[in-house]
Amino acid sequence: MGIADVIIAALLVGGACYILYATLWKKKGCCGCEGGSCCKK
């Protein structure tokens, strides 16, 4: 595994972690409510 592979892998893992952070933590996940009102609470 070359340095380029390591960089790509790190970027991918970082991106996946960011998506988890953004959707689960920052946006508190998708509540599944219909009007979205519970998410805005």
Partner 1 sequence: MSTQLKRKEELEGEVMAGSVAERVITVAVAGNPNSGKSTLINAIAGTRLHVGNWAGVTVEKKEALFDFGGRKIRLVDLPGTYSLSPYSQEEIVARDYLVHQRPDLIVNVVDATNLERNLYLTVQIMELGIPVVMALNIYDEAQAKGYRIDDKGIEQMLGIAVVPTSATKRSGLDELLETVLRVADAPNQRVPKKLNYGEDIEVAAEYLAKSFRTSHPALLERYPQRWLLLKLMEQDSRVMDELNLQNLDFLDPALHHLRRAHGEDIESIMADARYSLASGLTREVLHKPELRQTELTEKIDKIVLNRFLGIPIFMAAMWLLFKFTFDLSAPFGAWLGAMTEGPFKRWASALLTPLGAPDWTVSLVNDGVIAGVGSVIVFVPVIFAMMFFITFLEGSGYMARAAFVMDRTMHAIGLHGKSFIPMLLGFGCNVPGIYATRTLENPKDKVLTALLVPLMSCGARLPVYVVFVSAFFPNNSSTVIWSLYVMGILLAVLMGLIFKKTLFRGEAPMFIMELPPYRMPSMHSLCVHTWEKGKHFLYKAGTYIFAVSVLVWFLLNLPWGVEHKRDSYLGQAGAVVAPVFQPIGFGTWEAASSLISGVIAKEIVVGTMGEIYAPKKDEKKEVPTLQEDLKEIGVSFGAACSKAVKTLLYLPVPEEKEEDRSSLKLALQGVFTPLSSYAFMVFVLLYMPCVVAIAAMRQEFGTWKWAVVGLGYQTALAWCAALIVYQGGRLLGLGG
For binding to partner 1 (CB under 8 A), which residues are involved?
1, 5, 8-9, 12-13, 15-17, 19-20, 22-24, 28-35, 37-38, 41
DSSP 3-27: HHHHHHHHHHHHHHHHHHIIIIIIS
16/11 Cα distance (integer angstroms): 9
Q: Least distance from C-beta 8 to partner 1, angstroms?
A: 7
Q: Least distance from C-beta 5 to partner 1, angstroms?
A: 6
Q: Least distance from C-beta 1 to partner 1, angstroms?
A: 5
